[in-house]
Amino acid sequence: MGIIEAIFGLDESRKIYHKEFETAIKSLPHIDDREREYLRGVFSGVLKDGITQKELIGKIRQLEHSPADILDMHEVESVKRKLFGELEDKDNR
């Protein structure tokens, strides 16, 4: 199951919030606990008002290392590749 399917199902206009996002990132087996914590921090602000599929993809594309991050620059890029791998898997079906 890809991240888009895990979070949004088939409804591209649907907004998701903290609970759905948390369930989705827990279901991704290749994302470890530190990476999940990083994603929680990155997405916490936008999840308050909800985020659409398009906004989620845009936010993933914008992931960059910040000095305050719990992950280093290489780990952030790794998370980004993992998430885009999930997106590409979905797109190739």
68 or 86: whose pLDDT is higher? Answer: 68
pLDDT of residue 10: 64
pLDDT of residue 91: 47
Average pLDDT over residues 84-92: 57
Tens of pLDDT along 43-52? 999 999 999 8
Check whether 90 has a pLDDT greater than 50.
no
pLDDT of residue 5: 65
pLDDT of residue 23: 86
Question: Considering all CA atoms of the chain, what is the largest pairwise distance in Å, rounded to the nearest integer?
Answer: 37
- Give the domain ranges of the chain: 3-91
DSSP assignment of 25-54: HHH-TTS-HHHHHHHHHHHHHHHSS-B-HH
Contact 31, 2 (CB under 8 A): no
